[in-house]
Structure 1
Amino acid sequence: MFSLSFWITILLCLWIYLLWTRRKFYLLTLKFPGPFGYPIIGMAHKLLHREDVLSEFGYYIKQYGPTLFSWLGPIPFLIVSDPQLTQDILTSPHCVNKGLIYKAVDDGAGKGLFSQSDPTWSIHRKLLNPAFGHKVLLSFLPVFNSETAALLNVLKGMENEEKDFTQVLQSFTLRIATQTTMGSDVKDEECFKNNILLQRYQCVQETMTDMCFSPWLNNRILRIIFGKEESYSRAKLEIRAFIKKLIVRKLNEDSANTALPKDKNIFLNLATDLLKRGIFSWKNVEDESNVIVFGAFETTANTLYYSLMLLAMFPDYQEKAFEEIKTIFPNPGDFEVSYADTKQMIYMDMILNESMRVMSPVPLVSRQTSQDLKLSNGVTIPKGIQIALDIFHMHRSKSIWGPEAETFNPDNFLPTNLEDKHPYAYIPFTKGIRNCIGWRYALISAKVTLAKLLRNFKFTTSFPFEDLVFVEDITIKLEKAPLLKLQRRN
């Protein structure tokens, strides 16, 4: 039997060989410091649990600085939370492709705009951009208003007791998402009414995150061994069946109502027109639809909940928001919010921006270099490097946002406080070549909803801000979601 020292020697030799064969990557350690990790596994053992990812990244950023280099198993990767280098990366045509970890997203949600590689991504993005044009977004305002009116009625029965409103807001944003992108209201669907659909989306998201940071789980056999495959596979199938049903319903409605005009730029109309013209395949339509619905409802629900949570924790700012809204809408109850009204909500803009600074909707994004990339600091990143852009810690950097960077203060977005900020120091929807296609949609929807909620209710919580524990889950999550209490406003 071979001794332990023998196996250690073998592992070290393999590690040295790996470094030699990838010596151009190894040279990055001379330019950027970072944790070297163990032979073969690198730093993979530190990222086994999504609960640890953000805290580990934060620990190493404090130790090595805003840009550091390490290994995830045999894969070299760069962690970046420096605004200038972030701009270099997000504006480079050699960094358009998402990182390898997004293979998990391909498996769970399909190859849509979120994870597609160039040149397919560029083609699809150009074809689908009209679905989020200004006129189309304005046409969604009646849906935003009517659904928020329905939400107000639901919340009126939930006053004066601390509750978790996460599922209520997810159901609300899912109904908006399916109406505005797929042309269908899902309120009568059984899977929606019994919340099974939301559970399936949650299962897929959690498994995709596990697969991102534990790449061996991309193997179906290993998912079976670890007990993750059955529920994940069932969830994917049920979500696919749901999305397919919406597509078929829309196609049948269009066939039955050929004389009626339709907005060709509504997302599903656009996608199915591309299908009829032979530009999209059926799988393209399904994948893009799945990704667009998932993205539209999940991040919007989170942004709403976290904004209300932070205002409940910092009541002075909530009162300022209430006073602004009250000047625009003097009377409580339901009211129509126009686009012109949203433009008057200056303080609401500051609150939303600060909420997304403190709690980045997507805390980490990944890119990979398709060619050598020379950064503005003179360092050349070789082709094949995986890059993790740490938006979460960049948004909370004290060197950028001051000594109180980790707390909530909408005054950070006063014009005078933004004058010296790098344009890439705040990127809640990313930026550059591959920014989020639905960022305007998210902001208009959130402002309409928050205006009505804050005009009609005061939100409080007994959960202290200091006790929040952040979790990487593709979108940002909390280890424990604070409960909120509603009190009616006059």
Structure 2
Amino acid sequence: MSVLISMQSVILTAAIMLLIASWRLYEKRRSFRNITSKLPTQYGVPFVGIAYQFFYSSKVYSSLSRSFDELKSLTTCVWVATTPIILTVEPEVIKHVTSSSEFLNKARDLYAHFNNGVINGIIVNPAEKWKPDRKAISPFVSHNNLMSFFPLFNDTAQNVKRKLTSIAGRDEQDVFGVIKAFGLQLSILTIMGMKMEEGTKKYNEILNAFNILVHHMAENSVYSSVGLGFLTLTPDYKKTLKFLRELVRDLIKKNPSLKAESDEYEDGKQTVINLTLKAMKQGIYNVKEVEIQSFSMIAASYETSATAVYSVLVMLAMHPEIQDRVFEEVRSVFPDEVSSVGYDDMKKFPYLDMVIAETLRLAPPIPCIGRQTLNETELRPGVRIPKEMQVVIPIYELHRRKEIWGPEADRFNPDNFLPENIAKRHPCAYMAFSKGPRNCIGFRYAEFTLRVLLITLLRSLKFSTTFKYHDIVFMPKVTLGYEVEPLLSIEVRA
């Protein structure tokens, strides 16, 4: 009898809690009626919203596209769990969101997986902290400093070429793995001023740790959308975070600037670690912030650049006639092998630039960005949104909207970036590296490394694959991910 009474009590308590939660959700939805009455809105399932769609990673982008199509609007409101979020692929709204000082904060929920004590810093810091952070690190991406890195960019390109040449003529290969391995080397060298030898135990441990981190962050980004991010905090994940923190601390201790007054690396290069240590001396950072800023820049530069290079090679392998045209353009500038690519050389490849832009349109390394309002503000005429409202811009979807890119928006077509076609589009129709003051701070670093590597590889090597373009399925990870990463065959050109 007592057991029955206890069960009844539990059921009654649960029913009361459900009623209270339902009432609160109703009140919350009513409080946002001034927005939802002006924007097409998807409420989804009570307490879950449309979050259930995110658990099928391979279908996230198709679900987003379908939502915009069904609501017949380029700016919509969706409920994710119990939180209303604005989604927009409307260029004029995007221009406002990315340029207005009212949208300088990053969207809380979209970047929740960065709050792991290792990667956050300049990526997710609130506006008042982000501004001095960006100022402290900006000398790293200054023109003169990036010019000083060109020998390192070229060394990396030659190393990748040698590695890929050594596995040419075999079956299809994991080219992405090679690019990531050398990309991590370059990031640690340019950002921390430390050389990591390929193949050493330490190097392999670092590469493995990065891969584990990216995998867990991708999972966390999904689970955090419904408040279940804690499920990804596994012992393996925590062990990896500890290893990476200790790695950065060790690199900091070994940094020459701790033993000298100079703010520069040994040959005049300004690395992120030197700049952050200088900021620490000025009281801008503490030791932990030095660690986080340095590590964030390593992760950001390594993952996005490697993904971009790989995606270009995949697209060219699937479109041999376009690859041949790029090869002829490169050979016209470098009749023989490429020994070194300079800054002025990169201006001589207009068609390669179009190929890169088209690849980043269809496969943007950062497929989604988000902002959050500092105060109540206007989103567009007639629509005001409250403080801390999140606005998410799915770049992947923006780059494929037929209203913007035409009926063949999903087709790989570098002619989309002919000057006359660019002139027809809104400036915010394409944003591979975001837009506005909170754009990617390292976009020029990425552009230079991308071009040096591609020019070097495409002059000497030809890529092909049996994987078909229409079989590619992209997935949201920390950067854009492939459900299946196409393997590539490599042939050495005469």
TM range, normalised to the smaller chain?
over 0.9
**Are residue 344 (structure 1) and residue 348 (structure 2) matched?**
yes
Partner of 2:237: 232
Shift of 1:10: 7.0
Output one character per residue of 1:258-313: Cα deviation in whole Å (capped at 9) or x when no partner: 99966373322111111122221111110000100001111111001000000010
Partner of 2:316: 311
Partner of 1:60: 67
Q: What TM-score do you get using the length of structure 2 for normalisation?
A: 0.92
> Which structure 1 residue ranges, 4+ long, deviate > 6 Å from structure 2?
1-10, 216-220, 256-261
Paired residues of 2:106 and 2:371 also in contact (CA < 8 A): yes
Hey, what's the Cα distance between the residues in 1 that align with 2:400 and 2:322?
19
Partner of 2:176: 166
- Equivalent in 42, 46, 50 of residue 35 of structure 1: 42
CA RMSD for the aligned pairs? 2.5
Partner of 1:464: 468
**Are residue 145 (structure 1) and residue 150 (structure 2) matched?**
no
SS at structure 2 position matched to 1:76: strand
Output one character per residue of 1:206-261: Cα deviation in whole Å (capped at 9) or x when no partner: 222322232288778x42xx6x5111111111111222222211147743999996
- Equivalent in 171, 177, 180 of residue 187 of structure 2: 177
Paired residues of 2:263 and 2:275 also in contact (CA < 8 A): no
Moved more, 469-478 or 64-73: 64-73
Partner of 1:119: 128
Partner of 1:80: 88
Hey, what's the Cα distance between the residues in 2 that align with 1:346 and 1:437?
24
Partner of 2:300: 295
Partner of 2:396: 392
Q: What TM-score do you get using the length of structure 1 for normalisation?
A: 0.92
Shift of 1:376: 3.2
- Equivalent in 213, 226, 230 of residue 222 of structure 2: 213
SS at structure 1 position matched to 2:115: helix
**Are residue 99 (structure 1) and residue 107 (structure 2) matched?**
yes
**Are residue 454 (structure 1) and residue 461 (structure 2) matched?**
no
Paired residues of 2:49 and 2:81 also in contact (CA < 8 A): yes
Output one character per residue of 1:65-114: Cα deviation in whole Å (capped at 9) or x when no partner: 32211111111111111111111111111111111222320215343111
Partner of 1:269: 274
Which amino acid counterpart does residue 248 of structure 2 have in structure 1? I
Extract unaligned runs of 5+ from structure 2. 1-6
**Are residue 403 (structure 1) and residue 407 (structure 2) matched?**
yes
Shift of 1:339: 0.5
Which amino acid counterpart does residue 280 of structure 1 have in structure 2? Y
Partner of 2:478: 474
**Are residue 368 (structure 1) and residue 372 (structure 2) matched?**
yes
SS at structure 1 position matched to 2:127: coil
Which amino acid counterpart does residue 55 of structure 1 have in structure 2? S
Output one character per residue of 1:38-70: Cα deviation in whole Å (capped at 9) or x when no partner: 222222222234333222212212211322111
SS at structure 2 position matched to 1:459: strand
Shift of 1:383: 1.5
Paired residues of 2:209 and 2:244 also in contact (CA < 8 A): yes
Partner of 1:201: 210
Output one character per residue of 1:365-389: Cα deviation in whole Å (capped at 9) or x when no partner: 1211121121334311222212211
Output one character per residue of 1:173-203: Cα deviation in whole Å (capped at 9) or x when no partner: 1111111111111116844543x32222122
Partner of 1:357: 361
Shift of 1:391: 0.5
Paired residues of 1:307 and 1:355 also in contact (CA < 8 A): yes
Extract unaligned runs of 5+ from structure 1. none
Moved more, 424-433 or 97-106: 97-106
Paired residues of 2:156 and 2:186 also in contact (CA < 8 A): yes
Hey, what's the Cα distance between the residues in 2 that align with 1:326 and 1:456?
9
Flag the 1:477–1:33 CA change in 2: closer, same or farther, 3 A. same
Moved more, 23-32 or 323-332: 23-32
Paired residues of 1:457 and 1:487 also in contact (CA < 8 A): yes
Which amino acid counterpart does residue 281 of structure 2 have in structure 1? K
Partner of 1:69: 77
Paired residues of 1:322 and 1:454 also in contact (CA < 8 A): yes
Paired residues of 1:211 and 1:217 also in contact (CA < 8 A): no
Hey, what's the Cα distance between the residues in 1 that align with 2:108 and 2:214?
17
Partner of 2:386: 382
Paired residues of 1:351 and 1:410 also in contact (CA < 8 A): yes
Output one character per residue of 1:295-333: Cα deviation in whole Å (capped at 9) or x when no partner: 11111110010000000101111111111100110002x
Paired residues of 1:11 and 1:39 also in contact (CA < 8 A): no
Partner of 1:435: 439
Shift of 1:7: 7.4
Paired residues of 2:117 and 2:292 also in contact (CA < 8 A): no
Flag the 1:436–1:52 CA change in 2: closer, same or farther, 3 A. same
Output one character per residue of 1:406-430: Cα deviation in whole Å (capped at 9) or x when no partner: 1111111000111111111100110
SS at structure 2 position matched to 1:62: helix
Moved more, 395-404 or 43-52: 43-52
Hey, what's the Cα distance between the residues in 2 that align with 1:326 and 1:114?
39
Flag the 1:339–1:479 CA change in 2: closer, same or farther, 3 A. same
Which amino acid counterpart does residue 141 of structure 1 have in structure 2? F
Shift of 1:27: 2.6
Paired residues of 2:113 and 2:220 also in contact (CA < 8 A): yes
Moved more, 34-43 or 320-329: 34-43
SS at structure 2 position matched to 1:31: coil
SS at structure 1 position matched to 2:43: coil
Flag the 1:257–1:4 CA change in 2: closer, same or farther, 3 A. closer
Partner of 1:330: 335
Moved more, 278-287 or 15-24: 15-24
Which amino acid counterpart does residue 315 of structure 1 have in structure 2? P
Shift of 1:343: 1.2
**Are residue 18 (structure 1) and residue 25 (structure 2) matched?**
yes
Paired residues of 1:304 and 1:446 also in contact (CA < 8 A): yes
Paired residues of 2:329 and 2:349 also in contact (CA < 8 A): yes
